[in-house]
Amino acid sequence: MEPAVACDVVIPCRDEAAALPLVLGALPAGFRPIVVDNGSTDGTADVARRLGATVADEPRPGYGAAVHAGVLAATSEYVAVVDGDDSMDLRELPKLLEAVIDRGVTMAVGRRRPVGRGVWPWHARVGTTVLATWLRRSSGFGVHDLAPMRVCRRDDLLTLDVRDRRFGYPLELMVKAADAGWTVEELDIAYRPRAAGTRSKVSGSVRGTALAVHDFFAVLR
């Protein structure tokens, strides 16, 4: 008998075919993967289907667009969001879900802890630190990372009405969650090298980080 689905896991992907077998292979029982194909050209959607994942197609480019499409496709009470490049271990998801269900926080988020040197490029880490520090000081929202792995109730997330469809999505989510009075628990998660053949769309280059910063400041205006 298949285990009951406790949480849908939204995995926004663009050209992550090489990583998906590792990502989905680590998914705990009770967590249903929803792979959002965001314009891949490497057969990501075919790999995801072959591995048993639900696939949602979002042709509009952008992290926020892919996440939103995945949340709309979700049907469970709880929804998680995690990157599809195997830099985070999906076996850590149950402890985030536990924080929401058992301890009653509105959202549980992962705080990345690099497992080695060079895993988290300096330009990406500095940008994240600056934004998280601003968020804590301006709102009292006690986070040190921009929720690369997160779990909350699906209905709560949809009610928050996050509008950014590009890289600014995580920051807008955190700002609106703070304004709405959400409670948050931050838990350490391992941050490791991405699967061979994959590259971060944000931290993988200075240009990618610069585009993300541009979107972040658009959220703050």
> What's the pLDDT tens digit per position in 13-33?
999 999 999 999 999 999 999
Distance CA 64, CA 66 (A): 5
Q: Against a cut of 0.75, is the pTM above it?
A: yes
DSSP strand pairing (184-191 vs 107-114): parallel
For 81, phi then psi, to 5°, come to -130, 135
Distance CA 144, CA 4 (A): 33
b/e per residue, 169-200, with b = 16+ CB within 10 A?
Answer: bbbbbbbbbbeeebebbbeebebbebbeebeb
Q: What pLDDT shows up at residue 20?
A: 97
pLDDT at 81 over 80: yes
> What's the pLDDT tens digit per position in 91-114?
999 999 999 999 999 999 999 999
In three-state secondary structure terms, 64 is helix
Contact 143/108 with Cβ under 8 angstroms?
no
Q: What is the mean pLDDT of residues 158-167?
A: 95
In three-state secondary structure terms, 163 is coil
Distance CA 160, CA 179 (A): 10
Topology (CATH) of 7-220: Spore Coat Polysaccharide Biosynthesis Protein SpsA; Chain A (3.90.550)
